[in-house]
């Protein structure tokens, strides 16, 4: 085990035919190696399985073309309606509409007694009964999900009575922009999440934001949260050549790499739309119902609406429910098929890498607490390893919360916005629940001593929190998490790509963490895979395999995906 504790090193109106339109990216910003030569072609024989053919050097992979697309001109063809229509069209459900699917999704935020029993579906004139109320499990007045408390109802339940596909609506006799519609913020190539065995080829993601979040915060958008709502479609990409292992995914990496060489905006957008909506060769389109739940993948929500919709025609029960803090939830599409047709649904999930916060407490009254602490101790080697992009934890679903919060109470003392003496929520703020003088802390220290690690028990808990949604977005902001490492400060409120104040009115802003940690890591993963057809640290893995004293199960976890351990972020 000691041998492992070493550092390891995202054509419409207005779209131009111009070349690269990004004058704000200077050569210095592009970084070293920007002027290196052409890629080297590897010597490979033609056979049934793909093999590496290009080995990019220096800055030849343009991350704003091959990893993250955040240019609003290039995103014009990625409307929310087009994505939802394609999901429904590929579901095998003959009676579902995009509007009904959207409204059923947000009706999960409503309690039983607040729902409309019947909601009109204007596309076909029929009435559809909504299901999945958030108070399906109630004990002593408290709603639960996965045996842990959950907030119910949420203000976002009012979206079950809105139509996000109308560009304008009538308010007080005037046509105004529909603030309940959505705009695309970014496309994300997440091939770094592809399992090393090639069981799939990672994910292709697309992020949308509710229109109201683009307004100044004093207009239908009060601080600090604002009337904001973000949706993240995380589509898993099947490997069309699973018998070839991870090399079966090489053609997809090569397609993404080709985008770095396209300087014409219209041609670039056409290729992006092909990847997401059409597919190429044996690779299916990314946006399909099967890729968002039934065969992997999911949909996440970043919710921080604190004002009602501007659409005043919504039902009375959809009015204000008070201020709502940021919260993330996780969903997947479901399909029940029989007789040649399928019924499409959407289901909330426990959130991976998000254990319920109170389980860290030595005074927890939850019956799962003892089992959680025992399993958490087994994860110490995975959390203590240097490099925040390499840490992981694998916990049973029975320990996972149904929501992840980032309240101001979780912020480190002295951080702007951290209120003194605020109540700590049970589902978040892991280090606030953890007692550094407890027996649990002593047990963690014992595991750390065996590893020869200088990380403290409190830092281990904070490292675990960086893997949670709330921790990744705020709770462990700029904290010293051991091994000389700091969780990067995030200059934007809660998000890693923002709908607010785009650069030059066009390029959606990314967080410091994206620039400092995620983009460099993903570039390195993509280069290594394209050059060698293997994991980023394959050479290190081969050195450690079979070595006495090295836990081989831990080794497999460390190299589970192209980019490292299997993680949700």
| Tokens representing residue 560 in the block | 């589970």
In the prediction, which pLDDT does 218 show?
52
Q: Three-state DSSP class for 203?
A: strand
Which token pair is 199? 């069981």
Determine phi and psi for 343, rounding to 5 degrees.
Answer: -110, 120
3-state secondary structure 453-519: CCCCHHHHHHHHHHHCHHHHHHHCCCCECCCCCECCCCCCCCCCECCCCCECCCECCECHHHHHHHH
- Domain ranges for the chain: 357-486
- CA–CA dist 441, 458 (Å, integer): 8
For the chain, the average pLDDT equals 81
In sign, the C-alpha dihedral spanning 210, 211, 212, 215 is: positive
Kindly report the pTM of this predicted structure: 0.86
Cβ proximity of 203 and 297 under 8 Å: yes
361-416 pLDDT per residue, tens: 999 999 999 999 999 999 999 999 888 888 899 999 999 999 988 776 676 665 55
Residue that the structure tokens 């020869």 belong to: 452
Quick one: which H or E segment has residue 135? none
Dihedral sign from CA coordinates of 422, 154, 101, 170: negative
Distance of alpha carbon 375 from alpha carbon 323, whole angstroms = 36
Cα angle: 362, vertex 475, 326; to 5 degrees: 110
d(CA 36, CA 59): 7
320: Cβ contacts below 8 Å, ≥ 6 apart: 155, 307, 308
pLDDT of residue 118: 46
- 473 close to 494: Cβ distance less than 8 angstroms: yes
Neighbours of 489 (CB within 10 A): 13
- Positions in the chain whose pLDDT score sits under 70: 1-47, 58, 116-131, 217-226, 306-325, 408-409, 411-423, 474-478, 486-493, 536-552, 554-555, 568-569
Q: Which distant-in-sequence residues (6+ apart) come within 8 Å of 448 by Cβ?
A: 380, 384, 455, 456, 457, 460
Coil/strand/helix, residue 298 = strand
Q: What is the pLDDT of residue 123?
A: 46
No. of H helices and E strands in the chain? 16, 17
Could you report the per-residue pLDDT of 469-489, keeping only the tens digit for each?
877 776 666 677 888 876 655
């Amino acid at each position: 085990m000691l041998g492992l504790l070493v550092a390891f090193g995202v054509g419409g109106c207005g779209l131009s035919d111009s070349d690269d339109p990004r004058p704000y990216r200077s050569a210095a910003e592009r970084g070293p190696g920007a002027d290196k030569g052409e890629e080297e072609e590897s010597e490979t024989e033609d056979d049934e399985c793909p093999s590496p053919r290009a080995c990019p050097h220096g800055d030849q992979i343009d991350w704003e073309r091959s990893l993250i697309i955040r240019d609003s001109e290039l995103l014009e063809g990625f409307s929310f309606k087009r994505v939802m229509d394609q999901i429904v069209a590929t579901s095998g459900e003959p009676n579902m509409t995009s509007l009904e699917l959207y409204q059923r999704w947000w009706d999960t935020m409503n309690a039983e007694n607040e729902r409309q029993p019947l909601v009109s579906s204007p596309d076909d004139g029929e009435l559809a009964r909504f299901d999945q109320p958030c108070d399906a499990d109630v004990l002593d007045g408290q709603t639960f999900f996965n045996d842990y408390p959950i907030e119910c109802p949420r203000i976002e339940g009012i979206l079950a009575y809105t139509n996000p596909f109308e560009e304008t609506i009538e308010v007080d006799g005037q046509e105004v922009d529909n603030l309940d519609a959505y705009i695309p913020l970014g496309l994300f190539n997440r091939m770094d999440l592809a399992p090393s065995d090639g069981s799939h080829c990672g994910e292709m993601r697309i992020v949308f934001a509710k229109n109201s979040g683009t307004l100044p915060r004093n207009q239908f958008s009060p601080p600090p949260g604002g009337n904001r709502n973000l949706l993240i479609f995380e589509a898993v990409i099947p490997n069309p050549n699973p018998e070839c292992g991870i090399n079966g995914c090489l053609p997809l990496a090569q397609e993404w790499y080709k985008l770095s060489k396209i300087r014409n905006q219209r041609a670039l957008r056409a290729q992006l739309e092909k990847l997401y909506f059409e597919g190429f060769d044996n690779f299916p389109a990314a946006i399909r119902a099967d890729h968002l739940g039934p065969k992997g993948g999911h949909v996440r929500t970043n919710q921080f609406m604190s004002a009602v919709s501007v659409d005043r025609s919504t039902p009375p029960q959809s009015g204000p429910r008070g201020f709502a803090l940021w919260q993330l939830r996780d969903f997947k599409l479901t399909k029940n098929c029989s007789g040649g047709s399928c019924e499409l649904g959407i289901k909330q999930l426990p959130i991976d890498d998000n254990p319920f916060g109170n389980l860290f407490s030595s005074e927890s009254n939850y019956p799962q607490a003892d089992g959680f602490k025992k399993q958490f101790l087994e994860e110490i080697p995975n959390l203590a390893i240097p490099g925040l992009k390499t840490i992981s934890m694998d916990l049973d679903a029975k320990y996972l919360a149904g929501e992840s919060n980032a309240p101001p109470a979780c912020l480190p003392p002295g951080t702007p916005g951290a209120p003194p003496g605020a109540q700590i929520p049970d589902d978040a703020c892991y280090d606030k629940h953890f007692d550094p003088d407890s027996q649990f802390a002593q047990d963690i220290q014992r595991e750390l001593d065996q590893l020869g690690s200088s990380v403290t028990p409190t830092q281990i808990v904070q490292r675990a929190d960086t893997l949670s949604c709330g921790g990744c977005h705020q709770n462990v902001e700029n904290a010293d998490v051991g091994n000389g490492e700091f969780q990067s400060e995030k200059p934007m409120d809660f998000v890693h790509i923002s709908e607010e104040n785009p650069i030059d009115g066009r390029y959606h802003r990314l967080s410091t963490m994206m620039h400092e940690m995620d983009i460099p890591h993903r570039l390195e993963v993509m280069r290594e895979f394209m050059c060698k057809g293997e994991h980023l640290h394959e050479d290190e893995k081969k050195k450690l395999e079979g070595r006495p004293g090295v836990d081989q199960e831990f080794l497999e976890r460390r190299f589970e995906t192209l980019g490292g351990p299997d993680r949700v972020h």
